[in-house]
Amino acid sequence: MSHPSRSSALRRLPLDLATRMHALEPSATLAMAARAQSMAAAGVDVIDLSVGEPDFPTPDHICRAAEAAIRAGRTKYTPAAGIPDLRKAVAADYTRRSGLAVTAAQVVVSNGAKHALHNVFTALLDEGDEVIVPAPYWVSYAELIKLTGARPVILPTRLEDDFKLRPEALRAALTPASRMLLLCSPSNPTGVVYSPEELGSLADVAIAADLSVVADEIYDQLVFDGRQAVSFPTLRPGLADRTVVVAGVSKTYSMTGWRIGWSICPEPLAKAIGNLQSQETSNPCSVSQHAALAALTGPQECVATMNAAFQVRRDLVAARLRAIPGVRIPDIGGAFYAFFDISPILARGTNGITTSAAWCEALLEKEHVALVAGSAFGAEGNVRMSFASSEEKLERGLDRIARFVGA
């Protein structure tokens, strides 16, 4: 018996994209980096300050551990949630640095912190749930949330507040659909670091509203001026029962390509995330896991050395940007980004340039410097610059930026 055919208006071709894919935005950071690489390959002297990737080599003792793992034949499947020794090391490292005791059973090792975030959102969010996301925000947050069917609720913040979410703004944004608060400190893209008091005031609102909290702490060891990045679930009794901490080795140990991140959360959720990961990807790379184990348990002088270099670069970039008329920056307390306001420059409308995206495009074409438009981070009128590059490259890039704006 033949089946009635659907009308041509409703018919989808075999490889038509799902609706969710039409709403998915590509990473603006990676798109700008790809353009810069293409120009460089064509012989253009491009200074790429777009990507958040440490320029230091992965420390030698970590590389040696990976080589030893290969020679030892540790190249097979591992448990989906990560090798036991690495999960124990993550738990021990977090416990030592935060003061909050966690166990290996609360840790799931994933294919980078981005994958860990995807796991958490998929495990916790349902269609129609709302996730409160302060802007500026990392470019992937909103897209990962939307893929679950949930809705990112973007809350603008002010430069005058160092782009930090205020508790009264969080409280005002709450609705019956509010399910989760997403925070990043030290922040990508702004580099600001919340104080314990500032985070505590947000924690009080989250507890009163019965929100879950995802704390992206991937930059927690990259802090300047003697600051210390406090871990969110340590702020209030019982907060750990509603918080997921996401972190990894990419930024701290210059291991971006090794793709090892993790989530730390209550054990029942960790078990569910492990089950999800077992179906989606199985285990993270076995060799990379042994390298990450060496990173966490080996010498830590490399972390201090890289952090000191980033602080010198921060000082250079902040001073140079503040000297450019029309540019304003927040207090950069960590990570390796300068997120600067160019709205007075855009207001002039020179050459018809009135948006941050057009400004970055023109900068790349005229001065061959790659930055990322603030609109990609939910904050039009701003631009993100990575200072994970040599001082010489930063100086040249800043010279070109100053020349571009006529400073």
Q: What is the pTM of this model?
A: 0.93
* pLDDT value for 5: 45
Q: Give the whole-angstrom CA distance, residue 230 versus residue 212.
A: 18
Locus of tokens 């304003």: 328
* pLDDT on residue 33: 79
For residue 344, the model assigns a pLDDT of 96
Q: How far apart are CA 365 and CA 356, in angstroms?
A: 14
Residue that is written with structure tokens 């709450």 in the block? 174
Cβ-based neighbours of 134, under 8 Å, separated by 6 or more: 154, 155, 157, 163, 164, 165, 182, 183
Residue 407: the pLDDT is 56
Strands 261-264 and 243-248: antiparallel
Say what the pLDDT of residue 100 is: 98
Domains and CATH numbers, the chain: 19-57+302-404 (3.90.1150.10), 60-297 (3.40.640.10)
Kindly give the parts of the chain with pLDDT less than 70.
Answer: 1-10, 407
* Sign for the pseudo-dihedral over CA of 41, 42, 47, 48: negative
What pLDDT score was predicted for residue 22? 78
Q: So what's the pLDDT on residue 10?
A: 63
> What pLDDT is stored for residue 36 in this prediction?
81
d(CA 303, CA 81): 26
CA 19 from centroid of its chain's CA atoms = 26
Strands 212-216 and 243-248: parallel
